[in-house]
Structures are given as structure tokens and as C-alpha cells.
Amino acid sequence: MNFLVTGGAGFIGSHVCEHLLQDGHSVWAFDDLNDFYDPALKRRNLEEVKGSRFPFKFVQGELTDRTALAGLFASAKFDQVIHLAARAGVRPSLAEPALYQRVNVEGTVHLLEAARNHGVRKLILASSSSVYGVNAKVPFSESDPIFSPISPYAASKLACEALGHVYHHVYGMDIVMLRLFTVYGPRQRPDLAIHKFARLIRDGLPVPVFGDGATARDYTYITDTIQGILACTRLEFGYEIFNLGESQTVKLIDLIRLLEEVLGKQARLDWQPNQPGDVPITYADISKARAVLGYRPVVKIEEGMVRFVAWFRKH
């Protein structure tokens, strides 16, 4: 099949491209290579993906450019689209809410329209655990109410879920929304906690700890997330939402202690106040993904951290 992967030069996107190619598909990666973090890292991701013997093409462009998207869809007949491109991050969205609305929401509309106009029926879109907001009920279930996002990023992802439902309901498109929990592993963005903390501990620099260190996240190793994404490419749903997480939580301070152990170096902790937009916990109920997708996360945080640090030291 022919797949379009938006955000294909990024952390998750490059792994998706790589696995699709390994499964014998043809893949187009679409990415704007913006400077949210060093574009050279994204280009390195692309170089690692290009080693496959199957057709792979990279197209640089922006989601907000309708002409570029129309030309891309006209150039190839895509069977499926995996939409991972977005302005990411809760805290950066607080500083630039209009940018997050424009890229994540308007850009997703442009993509959906391009797909509809060129007869692409199936799209898999990345949502986020952040749509759950401050959810008193744990673990988070796909049926939980999600009307209280607490960051512009979360609000943009909530809007994308609503748009996905509209395009299914009105135009009959097959839409899957994946609420991704905190994904980590090789090629992880340098601004994300595990990568950032590893770098700071290695360099002997202070590690910022917001609040009392008790905030907890559902850290999910990249290969487990990819397993769930690929399972969605093989089925039809109409419109469906799935959590993809590890379904276990790790407190921030325990994460830092585990990194210290694997790196063999003690962290210098810099205690700071709670950050606006941060939720106290993310915790995925994955029973639906298990039942429908056969989703089975297998990499525990202890093993995943060893794998990540091995990659971190190599690169």
C-alpha cells in the first residue's frame, strides 16, 4: 500500500515510516522541518529511514499550505494517511496559542480536505492524553468526559478529534484517533523529559523538578506505540478512539532516580513551582485497544530506560 506519514521526520513519525517500509509498503514522509528543535536531528532521522529497499520519498512542506498538500495528494494515490505532524508540547503552547491553533487545527482541516478531495478514505490521527485534562478518574478511559483541557495544545488536539468525527459522519471517511501517552525511546525529541534529564545529568547541570516530584506519567516505549499504530492500519473502524499507553505510571522523582541508576551519575535537583498546564497524572486504560487491536505493550520502564540510554550514549 501507499502511505503518507505527516511529521515523518520526527520522533514517532520516523519510526512509523521505518516499520511500514519493513512491512513492504511505499511511504511518503511530509514534514516542514521547523526549528522547534534542531532540524538536523530530523534530517538524521530521515537518513536512518532511507536505508530500506522499498520506495521512500520525503516531501518538505507545511500543513497550513493548502496548495502544497493538494499537489502532494495529486502526485501519488495514497491508500492511507497517518497524521502525526503537529506543534507539540504543553508548555510551549502557553506562549504561542494561536500558532498551535493554526498548525494543529487549521492544518488538520487542510489535510482532511486534501484526503477527501483525492478519495483517501482512511486516516489515522494522533491525539494526546492531554485531552483528558485534570481527570479525577484513573486510569483514563476513552469514554471519559474530555471537555476541560488546560492548555492550548490539549485544546487543539480536542478540536482535531471533533473534526475527525465530522469527516467520518458527513463524508463517510474511516477515522481513527489515537490518544498517545508519554512516548519515549531512540530519536526522542530533545525537549522531552527523559531525553532532557539524561543530557542534564550527564553534563552535571541542574535538573528542574516542578512541584514536589509526585506528578506521574504513563511512559510508553516507542515500539509499543508503533505496535498500536500499525494495528490500526489493518482494520476498518468508521470512527474510533483508542488509548495507546503502557498502563503503568511512574512518578517524576522515581523517573529521575531510575535515570541516575542507568547513567551511573547522580542528578542535581532544581526544585521549582508547579507549571501551568501540567496535569498531575496521566494513566491509560488500554482495555479497549487490547480487545480491538490486540495491543500488548511489553517494554517496562526499567528495560526501556536501558535501551534509551544506550541510544543516547551512542548519539
Quote the pLDDT of residue 8: 97
The identity of residue 176, as a single letter, is: V
Please tell me the predicted confidence (pLDDT) of residue 136: 76
Please state, as a whole number, how many other Cβ atoms lie within 10 Å of the Cβ of residue 51: 9
Q: Which residue has the cell 492511507?
A: 80
Task: Give the span between the Cα atoms of 148 and 72, in whole angstroms.
Answer: 36
Nearest in space to 161 (alpha carbons), one of 191, 134, 131: 131
**Which whole number is the average pLDDT over 248-269?**
96
Q: Which of 64, 160, 68 is nearest to 107 (CA)?
A: 64
Which pLDDT belongs to residue 238? Answer: 96
Q: Which residue do the cell numbers 458527513 mark?
A: 170
Residue 44: the pLDDT is: 95
Q: Where are the domains of the chain?
A: 2-181+221-245+284-298
Query: Nearest-5° angle of CA 222, CA 226, CA 232?
Result: 155
Query: Average pLDDT, stretch 301-314?
Result: 97
| All three cell numbers of 288 | 479497549
Give pLDDT tens digits for 175-232: 999 999 999 999 999 999 999 999 999 999 999 998 889 999 999 999 999 999 999 9
pLDDT (mean) for 150-164: 95
Q: Where are the beta strands (DSSP E) in 32-133?
A: 56-60, 80-83, 122-128
Write down the pLDDT at residue 279: 83
The x, y and z cell numbers of residue 36, run together, are 522547534
For the residues 158-166, what does the mean pLDDT come to?
97
How far apart, in whole angstroms, are the C-alpha atoms of residue 106 and residue 90?
Answer: 18
Measured distance CA(84)–CA(87) in Å, rounded: 10
pLDDT score for 211: 86
* pLDDT for the residue 130: 93
Q: Is the pTM of this model over 0.75?
A: yes
pLDDT of residue 309: 97
Is pLDDT at 55 greater than 80 in this prediction? yes
How far apart (Å, rounded) are the C-alpha atoms in residues 124 and 169?
Answer: 16
* Structure letter (DSSP) for residue 274: P
Q: Cα separations (Å) of 252 from 101, 135, 159?
A: 29, 18, 29
Choose among 220, 211, 222, 305: nearest CA to 257: 305
Percent of the chain with pLDDT over 70: 100
Q: What is the pLDDT of residue 135?
A: 82
Q: Is the pLDDT of residue 235 over 90?
A: yes
Could you report the per-residue pLDDT of 101-113, keeping only the tens digit for each? Answer: 999 999 999 999 9
Cell numbers 478531495: residue: 117
CATH, domain 2-181+221-245+284-298, list 3.30.565.10, 3.40.50.12160, 3.30.470.30, 3.40.50.720: 3.40.50.720
C-alpha to C-alpha distance for 183 and 189, rounded to whole angstroms: 10
| Across 151-175, average pLDDT | 97
pLDDT for residue 80: 98
Using the predicted structure, report yes or no on whether residue 277 has a pLDDT greater than 90. no
Residues 72 and 31 sit within 8 Å (Cβ to Cβ):
no
Q: Cis omega before residue 297 (within 30°)?
A: no
pLDDT digits (tens, 9 = 90+) for 60-74: 999 999 999 999 999
- Supply the pLDDT for residue 278: 79
CA 92 – CA 104 distance, rounded (Å): 14
Mean residue pLDDT across the chain: 95
Question: What pLDDT is recorded for position 315?
Answer: 87
Return the pLDDT at 154.
Answer: 94
Q: Is the dihedral of CA 128, 133, 139, 145 positive or negative?
A: negative
Q: Are 29 and 84 in contact (CB under 8 A)?
A: no
Distances (CA, A) of 197 to 45, 83, 186, 206, 269: 21, 28, 15, 9, 10
Residue linked to cell 501519488: 76
Active-site residue numbers?
153
pLDDT at 129: 95
Q: What's the mean pLDDT in 78-86?
A: 97
Predicted confidence (pLDDT) per residue in 9-53, tens digit: 999 999 999 999 999 999 999 999 999 999 999 999 999 998 777
pLDDT at 274 exceeding the cut of 90: no
